[in-house]
Structure 1
Amino acid sequence: MASSSRVILESGGRNREVVGSFFRVSSLNVGTLTGNFLELVDELKKRHVDAVCVQETKWKGAKTKEANGFKLWYSGVVTNKNGVGIMLGTHLRNNVVEVNRFGDRVMMIKLVLDVVVVNLVSAYAPHAGLGDGEKK
């Protein structure tokens, strides 16, 4: 479910240094968040995930929701269809400097971690049963 990576900066020449510790990021097609939001939060906490990009939330609106130490930014146009979101642990939510929503299929959150800027993008691109124009 989660993959971990280190944030690495070039500090001149070939020298590298690790900034901070591990930053665990995951991406998950949830099918729907209705009735599953708290269960998802509990799993993320258990697995020590810092950030997760979720697809197919099926929630309408461009809003936020908080629960048990996580904050979700989400974007959806039609109830029960598509929708994307990005969830961050509370230790990261104050690092958010920008949120961009592009309909119900793409959104981006910009975080500042120490001296590094991280762009998290959640994208949902279903293609089953769609015409070529919509796929593009």
Structure 2
Amino acid sequence: MATCSRGVLESRGSNREVVDSIFRVGSLNVGTLTGKFLELVDGLKKRHVDAICVQEIMWKSAKTKESNKFKLWHSGVVTNMNGVGIMLRTQLRNNIVVVIRFNDRVMMIKLVVDVVVVNIVGAYAPHAGLGDKEKKILLRLFR
């Protein structure tokens, strides 16, 4: 998990002051999210995580799911295979500029945190068992 901390200039009337701001981001290969969604949400709340990228969720569809102050945007093409998602605290959902689901391996959410535009990219790129053609496609995708 990465913690981003920086000073933000906050305006209060004619006074200006620097306020510390922390935005915690993580990444986790869940193996499958079926039956684990609420358990994951509880862990994120306990660790004060604001956003997390999850890989190998194995859900088919491009939908959202919300529970216990977190919202998940996910992308999957085939049931029981691949799938990526990005979860955010629900209080951040109004800060979202765009959600882009490239395919079942890559997605991105662009949002505004304080006064900064943040791009969160979730990617799942296993190489075991792939042929040369698939590996080249993945390499092009991440360039």
TM-score norm. by structure 1 comes to 0.88
CA contact (8 A) 1:6 1:18 kept: no
Alignment partner, residue 126 of structure 1: 126
Alignment partner, residue 65 of structure 1: 65
Moved more, 78-87 or 112-121: 112-121
Alignment partner, residue 141 of structure 2: none
Amino acid paired to 1:122: G
SS at match of 2:92: helix
SS at match of 1:91: helix
Alignment CA distance shift 1:107-1:85 (3 Å): same
SS at match of 1:94: helix
Alignment CA distance shift 1:32-1:18 (3 Å): farther
Bigger radius of gyration among the two: 2
SS at match of 2:35: coil
Alignment CA distance shift 1:77-1:4 (3 Å): same
Which blocks of at least 5 consecutive residues in structure 1 are unaligned?
10-16
Distance 2:7 2:135 in 1: 35
Amino acid paired to 2:2: S
After TM superposition, where is structure 1 displaced by more than 3 Å over at least 4 residues in a row? 17-20
SS at match of 2:45: helix
Q: Cα deviation per residue 1:26-76 (whole Å; 9 max; x = unaligned)?
A: 000010000000000000000000000000010011100001000000000
Structure 1 vs Structure 2 CA RMSD? 1.6
Alignment partner, residue 112 of structure 1: 112
Number of residues of Structure 1 aligned to a counterpart in Structure 2:
128
Alignment CA distance shift 1:44-1:123 (3 Å): same
Alignment partner, residue 80 of structure 1: 80
Alignment partner, residue 5 of structure 1: 4
Which blocks of at least 5 consecutive residues in structure 2 are unaligned?
9-16, 137-143
| 1:94 Cα deviation from its structure 2 partner | 1.2
> Higher helix fraction: Structure 1 or Structure 2?
2
| 1:6 Cα deviation from its structure 2 partner | 1.7
SS at match of 1:62: coil
Amino acid paired to 1:100: I
Percent identity over paired residues? 76
Alignment CA distance shift 1:108-1:18 (3 Å): farther
Distance 2:34 2:93 in 1: 22
